[in-house]
Structure 1
Amino acid sequence: MNIKSLLLGSAAALAVVSGAQAADAIVAAEPEPVEYVRVCDAYGTGYFYIPGTETCLKIEGYIRFQVNVGEDVGGDSDWDAVTRGQVQFTAKSDTEYGPLTGVIVMQFNADNASTQEAKLDSAYLDIAGFRAGLFYSWWDDGLSGETDDIGSVETLHNSIRYQYESGTFYAGLSVDELEDGVYQGTFAPGVLPGTTVFTADDGPNNVGVAFGIGGKAGAFSYQVTGGWDFDNEDGAIRAMGTVEIGPGTLGLAGVYSSGPNSYYSAAEWAVAAEYAIKATDKLKITPGVQYYGNYFGGGKEVPEDFDGLGDAWKVGLTVDYQIVDNFYAKASVQYLDPDDGDDSTTGYFRLQRSF
């Protein structure tokens, strides 16, 4: 065998081996096209299409740190720090009856590292003006400051309601489950003296009917809310409004209750006023005052009526400051002086980042 034959044989062998390796080579598959999230601007900012569907989703929420001050706010202490995280999912899609909306709100509260609470804050569906599920009633609304006490002790209910809306006007009617409400004659443990913060024992409280009417007319806004508690056989009605005057907004409210019930039980009647001063683009200062007639104030037993109770008055100041976009600080101090109890001063400082 000469050199030429050896070289030809080696080249042939290498060609065979190379051909075998080429036959066994793994070729990477072409990547599948990725469906990127698309912006959905049909329902406002922040919505995007859930991939593969025509449903639009919005995710929002906030993180809050707050220090409460006042007598016994932290058990035996006069201060208590609390932290909250809340996230809300809102889903919308078009139907022949209009937008179909679903909302889930989860809230997480931490009094300290070992004492934490996770709860469903809201969960409801909404279509063509009808809403059903767990949501806050009109009685949760109030003036912009922290002084007014014109709402229910518990405003989150399993409810079904219909609300008609036309431009800046709305009117609605709801049927509410009131098992977490107030029941006359039931002992209320864990009461904070001088406040309306109390939780009644389980009673036959289970149903109520409420209405809400409201709207805007230029610089003026208004709302009238009423409710009837069938188990307590008492009800309440409230009116409030705001109007822009000078550098701020004046807010006025009045409420009347025929007897302690789940819609209003702090007093037989009350009037409140505030003036929210827009000092700068970032600073708002809101002084407020409220007067209670026949003030209940969260005694150990819910009375059947307000007869024989003393009056009370309350004054406070709330300051809001926007540090940067979506991040603000709030401070509030309130003084309450009831005829039938000791006066008290409470307040808090809050930092909150929204997204």
Structure 2
Amino acid sequence: MTITKFLFGAAAGVLVAGTAQAADLPIAPEPIDYVRVCDAFGAGFYYIPGTDTCLSVRGRVRAEYRYYDSEFSDHWRDYNSSMMRARGYLYMDARTNTEFGLLRAYNEIYVTTNSPGSTGVTLEHSFVQFGGFTFGKTQSFYDFVEYSTFAFAWKPGVSDEKLPVGAYTLAFGNGFSSTLSLEAAAERRMGIDGYSYGGAKYPDLVANIRIDQGWGSAQIMGALHQVWPAYDASYTPESELGYAVGAGVVFNLPFAAGASVNLTGTYTRGATSYAGSDIYGPFGTNGGGVYDAALDASGDLELSSAWSVSGGFGFDFTPTVGANIQAGYLDYQNDASFGGDFKNYDLQGNITWTPVKGLLFGVETDYKYIDNESVAGLDDGSVWSAEFRAQRTF
């Protein structure tokens, strides 16, 4: 064997051995994309792995127990005075910063079991926001909902509606903004006495101007609502344009922790639901005898008028114990309607205890008085309720 053959043989052996050893080495794993905290939008957000979208998933469990009674006559014996409720919430908030501004998608869904009653699913909010636009179901841009009580049995004299909208909000800076919104008109209909509404013709047009700063917030708002009668071969009344105007303000008070005061007022004509989402008519039932318009003696539409004002005050006795009180007044007028004229007086108050963060216990009492001004044979009356709430938010 020559020296050359020896060297080539040795090199080949080393190469084969090296290849075998390399084949035995472990393969490096793929990098893991861990969930990362997203601090761009506050606590509770994290990046969806593999994206630049931040997501917050939260929940709530609420249990409520209510006793409900009335001074109205015997027909109230058929209503449920005691009720128990369990409700579970799911909140999902996805946000992405883009070159056009914030892209946001938000869902709020809850499932409720009432006893007596049934179990149902409610889509409370579901909307997309992008570049100042809002599309989907959310709080009406007319509403300035700032009542501090539970409003479990009913709400005070204030509009509080979640409905489909298509809106654009322009931010001027320093907390000032303005919104123009097209909103589902069918959700705002209170009926036509002696006649009926036709199909949904035009959406409601809603506009507001508001300010949000450290001292609190304020808003002025307006809405147009078409009272569109159904077709009748013998006679169809002409449609009428209803409207609502209102204003609201909330002040954060410096003299006590958690102290604030709110005030909201609205005047409507032919758009009664903007004056209040829970109006008790002269028949002692929610909405009974309440209309946007009625047929007068000549067969034409006469628009109802209604105005309301609501105010409240809340403060904390200690870091864990707070109290809230809310009062409201609503005046409804329509002399052409059998429902006639009436007034609602509301008073609500509660005390809450938060022993640990996210856990709340509270007791509340609600009172409503219905003053029937012009309905023959119907007496004035009142309804009241007392409730206990246990709630965990996480």
TM-score above 0.5, yes or no: yes
- Per the TM alignment, residue 28 of structure 1 is displaced from its structure 2 partner at its CA by 8.0
Query: What does residue 273 of structure 1 align with?
Result: 311
- Could you tell me how far apart the structure 2 residues matched to 1:130 and 1:107 are? 25
Percent of aligned pairs with the same residue?
22
- My pick for the range that moved more, 269-278 or 325-334, is 269-278
Q: Does 1:219 align with 2:252?
A: no
Q: Could you tell me which amino acid in structure 1 is paired with residue 349 of structure 2?
A: L
Q: 1:119 to 1:219 in 2, by over 3 A?
A: closer
C-alpha contact 2:157 2:346 (8 A) present in aligned 1 = no
Q: 1:127 to 1:118 in 2, by over 3 A?
A: same
Q: Could you tell me which amino acid in structure 2 is paired with residue 316 of structure 1?
A: Q
Query: What does residue 286 of structure 2 align with?
Result: none
- My pick for the range that moved more, 106-115 or 134-143, is 106-115
Structure 2 segments unaligned to the other structure (5+ residues): 1-23, 71-75, 229-240, 280-304, 373-379
2:352 to 304, 320, 326: 320
Q: 1:216 to 1:174 in 2, by over 3 A?
A: same
SS in 2 for 1:94: strand
Query: What does residue 142 of structure 1 align with?
Result: 146
The count of corresponding residues between Structure 1 and Structure 2 is 314
Deviation string, structure 1 residues 290-346 (Cα, Å, up to 9, x no partner): 2222379xxxxxx97799413332222122221210111232211111111311112
Query: What does residue 328 of structure 2 align with?
Result: 290
Deviation string, structure 1 residues 30-56 (Cα, Å, up to 9, x no partner): 654322101111222211111111221
Q: Does 1:209 align with 2:205?
A: yes
Q: Could you tell me which amino acid in structure 2 is paired with residue 263 of structure 1?
A: Y
SS in 2 for 1:179: helix
- Could you tell me how far apart the structure 2 residues matched to 1:113 and 1:53 are? 46
- Per the TM alignment, residue 88 of structure 1 is displaced from its structure 2 partner at its CA by 1.5
Query: What does residue 69 of structure 2 align with?
Result: 71
Q: Does 1:156 align with 2:162?
A: yes
C-alpha contact 1:313 1:338 (8 A) present in aligned 2 = yes
Q: Does 1:116 align with 2:103?
A: no
Query: What does residue 59 of structure 1 align with?
Result: 57
Q: Could you tell me which amino acid in structure 1 is paired with residue 266 of structure 2?
A: V
Q: Could you tell me which amino acid in structure 1 is paired with residue 332 of structure 2?
A: N
- Could you tell me how far apart the structure 2 residues matched to 1:33 and 1:215 are? 48
Query: What does residue 103 of structure 1 align with?
Result: 106
C-alpha contact 1:335 1:346 (8 A) present in aligned 2 = yes
Q: 1:28 to 1:151 in 2, by over 3 A?
A: farther
Query: What does residue 33 of structure 2 align with?
Result: 35
C-alpha contact 2:140 2:162 (8 A) present in aligned 1 = yes
C-alpha contact 1:277 1:285 (8 A) present in aligned 2 = yes
Deviation string, structure 1 residues 208-252 (Cα, Å, up to 9, x no partner): 011222224553431222221123621212212122164332222
- Per the TM alignment, residue 201 of structure 1 is displaced from its structure 2 partner at its CA by 8.7
Q: 1:151 to 1:205 in 2, by over 3 A?
A: farther
Q: 1:175 to 1:250 in 2, by over 3 A?
A: same
1:235 to 240, 243, 250: 243
1:338 to 370, 379, 389: 370
- Could you tell me how far apart the structure 2 residues matched to 1:245 and 1:205 are? 48
Q: 1:310 to 1:111 in 2, by over 3 A?
A: closer
Query: What does residue 184 of structure 1 align with?
Result: 191
- My pick for the range that moved more, 312-321 or 95-104, is 312-321
- Per the TM alignment, residue 172 of structure 1 is displaced from its structure 2 partner at its CA by 0.8
- Could you tell me how far apart the structure 1 residues matched to 2:197 and 2:262 are? 35
Q: Does 1:258 align with 2:269?
A: yes
Q: 1:203 to 1:343 in 2, by over 3 A?
A: farther
1:80 to 67, 78, 83: 83
Q: 1:245 to 1:253 in 2, by over 3 A?
A: farther
- Could you tell me how far apart the structure 1 residues matched to 2:246 and 2:351 are? 26
- Could you tell me how far apart the structure 2 residues matched to 1:289 and 1:115 are? 31
Deviation string, structure 1 residues 155-191 (Cα, Å, up to 9, x no partner): 122111111222322211100012233243269xxxx
Cα RMSD between the aligned structures?
3.4
Q: Does 1:329 align with 2:358?
A: no
